[in-house]
Homo-oligomer: A and B are copies of this chain.
Amino acid sequence: MFIGCQFSLYPMADGFVGVILDAIKDLDKYTKLRRQTDDLSTLLVGPPEELFPALEECFTAASRSGEHVVMQVTFSRGCPGEPDDPICRTDLLPPRPTDATPENLTRAALERLRKPEKSGIDTACQISLYPLGGGDHMADIYACIAFLKASTVNVTAKNFCTRLDGDAADVMAVIEQTFIGFAHPGGHVVLTATLSANSPSKKRAA
């Protein structure tokens, strides 16, 4: 299994370099993550147990600058083009239930959903889940949307993605469950997430 993400932080401020460097300065403590950075994004490879806390820390740290900040993340697991990597070994990826109906997938994800301590960062987010490589991918997506609607964040339908509003810690816990809880545990799954804080814009569509 190969698990990881490419992520980028976009602080909408003249001092964006300082906001980014400050947000990522403590990433070394996540000793199970391998990192590689270029001018477009940072690659993190490793288990979800460290991936999600590390991303939450970067996003909340950048948001505490007070600037309008966006974090873009592309998560991937099981890509057939990537080698197995022992660094990605995880206990979080649940086995596919014997009776993997949409209702059972939704219920199991809700039971696993963490109720973390609030971060205090009001977060707007949109996510898309892409279960690749066959099977009825829309059934997994609809099961996931049912999970989102019953979860700890507010959910709004959009074209091509689903909008989540809530505390950054809840949003990240919901994204984690979306990533691990739907589509086959051995399948190729991609999830994209855009998280935003401190936007001066109104939330409603125009």
Contacts and interface: CB of A to CB of B under 8 A. Distances in A.
A205 B38 contact: yes
A106 interface: no
A151 interface: no
B204 A138 contact: no
Nearest to A205: B38
B205 A130 contact: no
Nearest to A4: B159
Interface in A17-76: 17, 36-41, 43, 45, 68, 70, 72, 74, 76
A137 B133 contact: yes
Interface in A142-162: 158-161
Interface bin, chain A: 35 or more
Contacts of A131: 132
Given A74-B161, A206-B36, A10 B10 contact: yes
A126 interface: yes
Contacts of A163: 38, 40
